[in-house]
Structure 1
Amino acid sequence: MYAILDIETTGGKYNEEGITEIAIYKFDGHKVVDQFISLVNPEKEIQPFVVKLTGINNNMLATAPKFHEVAKRIVEITDGATLVAHNAQFDYRILQTEFRRLGYDYQRKSVCTVELAKELIPDQPSYSLGKLVRSLGIPVSDRHRANGDAQATVKLFKMLLAKDTSKKIVQNNIRAENIGQLNPKLIDIVEQLPTSVGVFYVHNTEGEVIFLSKSSNIQKRVNQLFASSSKKNKRLQKEVKAVTYEETGNELIALLKENSEVKKSTPIYNVKNKKLFSHALYSKESKEGYLTLKIGKADNRKQYITTFSSYQQAYNVLHAIDEEFTLCNKLNGLSEAKKNCYNYTIEKCFGACTNEEPPSIYNKRVRKAIYKYGFQDTSFIISDRGRNINERSVILIQNGEFKGFGFYELNHQINNIAILESIITPMENTTDTKHIIQSYLRKKKSPKIVSL
């Protein structure tokens, strides 16, 4: 659990500042579950430059509660949570100073989004909150007011969690929270999980990920894992400390995250070196000059159009391609006819198998098929469902290479290539990621493809 906060102060000498406004959002890693926003009477004058910066003046605070009147609420909403702030050292110091004046020793673990952003979003021109969120396309209102800045920090932190593919933030938080000597029973863990699509992570007592998997229903999949009586899963159940998750909004991002993170963190209970495809579709020119499409064993040393998990899947897709683009089954190895293919007799083949259709005309349709199903050297984005109703997801392909994924709320975030690249969580372009994307696009009709 995280308490994302922003504090405005009177300004003045070090450790003599007073709080003028505070906003705290309790965040479970996915959504805000509680909030506290209040002006605070600092019982001292506000520095003129602060009044100009924030718009908060002494008259506004005359009837506001004093810090001792809101202290209990601050303790409650941050209890058991890690404090998150932009320049957390400042906000945490101010809080500790105020509590010290009341004779209370206020201790919390803290995380700074400035430091996280420098690590996870390098090479930004500025890491000040206003300039950083603007460069990332994150909307912010009421800049230099506690509530506006805290809301922007929530959105920034959510993006940083998505970019933290090594799960350092979550791992450190699990250690810090010290959830207790597990057992909350496994069923209690399951009940707290969503029924949405995403990736879940099983952690041991050290916070390490020992198993991860994607699912279209996270709660159902974890319940099956904990109910399993296999020897391997019985051992896993004894080591469970916590289960965290990331909602992805759609299955494609879940598949890509699962593939990438299994390879990166190699959890001990995941299958090692799982092979995703066995066959591929290749293109070759016949001696008569016709471009042919042939199914063969997958070989990464050869250039292929697309890949398949089995020969039968390849066979079915090639049949569909032949029908979609009016290609010849005989040329493509799907017919063993000696003279002409069956489609020629029913006028669904224009005679490439009998050399009646010129190769130059036939090959245009083959190239269209290769372009659609291979996306070599093409640049586009795949826009699909996001994690909530106001959000969309984006997958970026540049020059035929998978660059990564991200989430956006406003169309200008994907229409501006600089912002698009900054909101993307980079992922490695591999034969597996290409297979996952191509297989998904062949099966699903929901994603929107936008050429760049």
Structure 2
Amino acid sequence: MYAIVDIETTGGFSANNRIIEIAVVFHDGEQITGQFETLLDPEMSIPSFITGLTGIDAQMLIGAPKFSEIAVELYNLLEGKVFVAHNVGFDYSFVKQSFEREGMVYKPKRLCTVRLSRKLFPGLKSYSLGRLCESRGIVVNDRHRAMGDAWATSILFGQLLQADKEGHIEQAIKGKHKALTLPPNISKEKFNEIPQSTGVYYFHDANGKVIYVGKAVNIQRRFNGHFSGKAKLNLKTEIFDVSYEITGSELLALLLEALEIKRLWPKYNRSLKVKALSWGVFSYTDREGYLRFQLNKVVAGIKPLATFTSHASAWKFLLDKNKELKLCPKLNGIQKKNGACYDFQLGECSGACCGVEAAEDYNKRAEELIAGVKLEGEKFLVKDCGRNPGEEVALFFEDGFLSAYGFIDMSQSFQTAEEVVAVLKPVKRVIETQYLLKSYWDKIPEKNIIYLTNN
């Protein structure tokens, strides 16, 4: 048995919105056997654009039951049936959360008529319910009302059942079929074309516009990871295509992602777009001659050794360097204590905090931290693995900023680093590339860094 469901809601996110109308059409695999529908009091206001779309206003909902009042009846009607909907993720997320608010667990098997239609009725320009019904000769009464859309979807579902000669529907129902985790407008064939390689990937909407940019060591695995678990519903339903650029180099993928977000400003990269390098690690020499480090907010006119997007990332950097170089945690503000630091008592600090270790000896290690992040005034190339064994990636940095990059055929012969730079693709300076280089610096083998001053 199948339950074909359609809902109208106060908005697009199930966490912050509520159902205002639900309709269910029951199908036994051969014919429609019954139906259920009701308006619902969402216990919140209805936005004007929802009224404009559905025709449902607050006046119509006076006296309508709350979901809590129909929850048991609806649950009993749906129990044991396959949940079917057009863009099933949307309808199911609202119904599931509505049941959860009443302390009821609802996890049915599900079918998406968008995905099934792409499989069984290939080649159409649009798989929206309206366009799909038009192409299949299905009359839709009361479009954007729950019963009108549910009824049309049930007729469409009947056609899908008749057209399914190879058992696609049964296959989709059995277990957690991988295709169900994919966005409804991305076919399994399209997913299989996505490379399992390192690079940058782009999500496109129905008009081809880039709405998200990401990077991954394995693009296909990362793509699937976006939509397992609690994926952003709007992102999932807006994706119509995927493109990608293979880099081979993980560092280039990181850098290229930052460049592309700055260039394209995709709507779903908001969290990355607003990041600012607001925290820095600063150095100074105290009155005893010891080189010290501290964290502070970055202010105009004072250059830090390294910049970070958060206090947490700056703090981790300082902790890691402190441990790696065996620096004193008290001198670097990690421990607040009178006298010797706790690490000295444990034998893990050489005693710069209490005068046991001379400033000259201590500063040799502290200066290694500065040398590792001091990139201003330097011009150098970083070599990394390419897209295939016969290729290398060349990254050109100036003052710590990525200035150019390219893929070099290893059969080519270059006499100087300047000759390599001349064939690279220039890019606009972006502050995030400086931060990414500093955070990645310790992973770069010294033999892969070529300073131009040394040719």
The corresponding residue for 1:233 is: 235
Would the alpha carbon gap of residues 210 and 316 (structure 1) be closer, same or farther in structure 2, given more than 3 Å must change?
closer
Q: How does 1:4-43 map to 2 (within 5 A)?
A: none
Correspondence for 1:203: 204
TM-fit CA distance, 1:193: 1.2
Query: Normalising by the residue count of structure 2, what TM-score does the alignment of the two structures yield?
Result: 0.52
Cα drift, residue 413 of structure 1: 5.5
Give the SS at the match of 2:269. Answer: coil
Shift of residue 192, structure 1, vs aligned partner: 1.3
Opposite residue 354 of structure 2, the aligned amino acid is T
Which residue matches 1:26?
Answer: none
Cα drift, residue 298 of structure 1: 4.4
Find the counterpart in structure 1 of residue 449 from structure 2: 449
Secondary structure, aligned partner of 1:328: coil
Structure 1 residues without counterparts, runs of 5 or longer: 1-178
Q: Which SS does the other structure have where 1:249 is aligned?
A: coil
Distance 1:283 1:208 in 2: 45
Asked if structure 1 preserves the Cα contact closer than 8 Å seen for 2:380 and 2:397, the reply is yes
Q: Check whether the contact 1:197–1:216 (CA below 8 A) recurs between aligned residues.
A: yes
Secondary structure at the residue paired with 2:422? Answer: helix
The residue identity in structure 1 corresponding to 2:218 is: N
Give the aligned partner of residue 262 of structure 1. 261
Matched, 1:402 2:402: yes
What corresponds to 2:161 in structure 1?
Answer: none
The aligned amino acid for 2:270 is V
> 1:318-369 deviations in whole A, cap 9, x for unaligned?
2332343342222111222211223444555444323454444433332222
Which whole-Å CA distance do the structure 2 matches of 1:395 and 1:433 have between them? 11
What residue in structure 2 maps to residue 372 of structure 1?
Answer: 372
Contact 2:382-2:448 within 8 A present in 1 as well: yes
Match of 2:125 among 175, 181, 193: 181
CA contact (8 A) 2:196 2:219 kept: yes
Contact 1:199 1:215 in 2 (8 A): yes
Q: What code does the residue aligned with 2:266 have?
A: P
Instruction: Give the fraction of aligned pairs with identical amino acids, expressed as a percent.
Output: 30
**Alpha-carbon contact 1:413-1:419 (below 8 Å) kept:** no
Q: Deviations over 1:73-98 (max 9, x none)?
A: xxxxxxxxxxxxxxxxxxxxxxxxxx
| Paired residue type of 1:196 | S
Q: How many Å separate the matches in 2 of 1:229 and 1:328?
A: 44
Matched-pair contact (CA < 8 Å) for 2:401–2:433:
no
SS class of match (1:269): helix
The Cα shift of 1:260 comes to: 0.8
Match of 2:270 in 1: 271
Which residue of 2 is the match for residue 248 of structure 1? 247
Give the equivalent residue in structure 1 for 2:352. Answer: 352
- Quickly say closer, same or farther: Cα 1:229–1:295, change in 2 above 3 A: closer
Determine if contact 1:407/1:423 at 8 Å carries over to the other structure. Answer: no
In structure 2, distance between residues paired with 1:304 and 1:193: 41
1:8: which partner in 2? Answer: none
Residue 384 of structure 1 contacts residue 447 of structure 1 at CA under 8 Å; is this kept in 2?
no
Does residue 1:434 correspond to 2:430, yes or no?
A: no
Helix, strand or coil at the partner of 1:329: coil
Aligned residue pairs, count: 271
Please tell me the residue identity of whatever aligns with 1:181: K
d(CA) in 2 for partners of 1:305 and 1:325? 16
Determine which structure has more spread, i.e. the larger CA radius of gyration.
2
Where 1:389 maps in the other structure, the secondary structure is coil
* Distance change in 2, residues 1:229/1:382 (3 Å): closer
Aligned CA distance change for structure 1 residues 279 and 423 (closer, same or farther; 3 Å)? same
